[in-house]
C-alpha cells in the first residue's frame, strides 16, 4: 500500500516522536485545566446554594524518591552503555566501542548520586 524506503522512515520516526510528545503534553494541560474548571464550578454552586464550601483533599505527604529515581536511571544508563560498548566493539572494533564510555560515566555518576542521596536522607554522615 505504502512504499516507504528506509531513508524516508529514518526521517519520519523522529518527526512522529516529537509531534507525539507535544500532543501528550497538550492533552495533559487541557485535562488539568478541565479539572480545575470543575472544582471552581463546584465551589460556585455550593456558594449559590448556601452550602459549606467543599474543602480540598489533603495532599499526601511528599516522600523523597530521589534515591530510587537516581538508582533506577543509573542502572538503566549503565547497562545500556555496556550493551553499546559490547555491540560496537564486536561489530566495529574495540577502538570504536570507547564512545560507550560516555554514557557509562553518566550512569556511574547517577549511581554515586543515589548513594549520596540515600546517605543524606537517612540523616547519617
pLDDT tens digits, 29-54: 999 999 999 999 999 998 999 988 87
pLDDT band at 99 (very low <50, low <70, confident <90, very high): confident
Q: Given a cut of 80, is residue 116 above it in pLDDT?
A: yes
The pLDDT of residue 121 is above 70: no
Task: Work out whether the CA dihedral 86, 87, 90, 93 comes out positive or negative.
Answer: negative
Residue extents of the structural domains in the chain: 1-59, 66-122
- C-alpha to C-alpha distance for 65 and 114, rounded to whole angstroms: 10
Q: What is the pLDDT of residue 93?
A: 76
Q: Give yes or no for a contact between 81 and 103, defined as CB atoms under 8 angstroms apart.
A: yes
Cα 22 → chain centroid:
14
Helix or strand or coil: residue 64?
coil
For residues 89-118, give the mean pLDDT: 84
Amino acid at each position: 500500500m505504502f512504499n516507504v524506503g528506509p531513508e524516508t522512515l529514518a526521517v519520519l520516526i523522529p518527526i512522529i516522536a516529537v509531534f507525539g510528545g507535544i500532543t501528550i503534553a497538550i492533552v495533559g494541560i487541557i485535562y488539568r485545566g478541565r479539572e480545575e474548571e470543575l472544582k471552581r464550578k463546584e465551589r460556585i454552586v455550593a456558594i449559590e446554594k448556601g452550602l459549606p464550601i467543599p474543602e480540598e483533599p489533603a495532599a499526601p505527604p511528599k516522600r523523597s524518591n530521589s534515591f530510587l529515581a537516581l538508582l533506577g536511571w543509573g542502572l538503566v544508563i549503565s547497562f545500556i552503555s555496556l550493551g553499546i560498548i559490547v555491540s560496537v566493539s564486536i561489530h566495529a572494533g574495540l577502538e570504536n566501542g570507547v564512545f560507550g564510555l560516555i554514557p557509562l560515566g553518566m550512569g556511574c555518576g547517577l549511581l554515586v548520586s543515589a548513594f549520596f542521596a540515600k546517605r543524606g536522607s537517612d540523616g547519617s554522615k
